[in-house]
Amino acid sequence: MALYFISDLHLEHQRPAMAAGFKAFVDGLTDAEALYILGDFFEVWMGDDYNDPFVDGVKATLRDAVERGIAVYLMHGNRDFLLGEAFCADIGANMVAEGSVIHHGDESAVILHGDSLCTQDVEYMKIRQMFRSPQWQADFLGKSLEERIAFARHVRSESQSGQQMKSAEIMDVTPIEVDKALDEAGVTRMIHGHTHRPDVHHWQHQGEARERIVLGDWDDTQGWMIRWEKDSAPQLSKFSF
């Protein structure tokens, strides 16, 4: 049995081919113990009370995975940070917090979306703090769905925060933040997404060998995943659909 990790699908109703690719990916998970979705699963999330046929289809795919015995875990990204307990309950999934440590046999890794590591983007870090504050979220979710949709459209099209959310993906991680997060977690391996720079990095930190595995973003024809078999190192790969 293996653990699987994906991130940065940025699903939206304009991308039916990617949603079909995601379904094919899930259908093909025959040895999965768990599927971790490390953020930006959706391009935007307005609150768990939002629903449309596209979202229903994605939920059905996730529900199917859960019914087949795969534990599904969702982490917030910088786009879908409003995904909540109602969404999870609806499909039988669980939220997993940024910075959680996963143990698999003799091996372990800390998991993050990745935007918290991009501290050079000072403007984004400010807006991130606002979006992640319980007060802002409660106020926002208290607005009508129409108001929230209008806000999202505004953010995406022209506002400064929209630009900042985009620039967040242009920046790469700050190495010192990576080492800090590894120190805090007490492990030597990190898995994250967000930067759209799929790669495996190895380096030494104070005499300790460290590894950072970065998931890639999906498009209409291909995706990235990490497959992690017990007692061995997680493997990053690209696949087509």
* Residues at the contact surface with Mn ion, assessed by CB under 5 A: 40, 77-78, 194
Cβ partners under 8 Å of residue 7, min gap 6: 37, 38, 39, 40, 41, 75, 77, 113, 114, 192, 193, 194, 215, 217
Q: Which is nearer to Mn ion, 23 or 194 (CB)?
A: 194
The nearest distance, CB 41 to Mn ion, in angstroms, is 10
Please say whether the beta carbons of 46 and 81 come within 8 A: no
Q: Which is nearer to Mn ion, 197 or 210 (CB)?
A: 197
Q: Which is nearer to Mn ion, 171 or 233 (CB)?
A: 171
Q: Which is nearer to Mn ion, 114 or 234 (CB)?
A: 114
Beta bridge partners of 201: 212
The nearest distance, CB 233 to Mn ion, in angstroms, is 24
Stated as kind and residue range, the H or E segment containing 74 is: strand 71-74
The nearest distance, CB 134 to Mn ion, in angstroms, is 21
- Tokens 């440590």 belong to which residue? 101
The nearest distance, CB 115 to Mn ion, in angstroms, is 5
Strand order in the sheet with 94-95: 94-95, 71-74, 32-37, 2-6, 222-229, 235-240
The nearest distance, CB 77 to Mn ion, in angstroms, is 4
Measured CA to CA, the distance from residue 113 to residue 85 in angstroms comes to 18
Q: Which is nearer to Mn ion, 32 or 224 (CB)?
A: 224
Q: Which residue is nearest to Mn ion (CB)?
A: 194
Q: Which is nearer to Mn ion, 2 or 213 (CB)?
A: 213
The nearest distance, CB 196 to Mn ion, in angstroms, is 8
Helix axes 145-157, 160-170, angle to 10 degrees: 60
Give the single-character DSSP code of 173: P
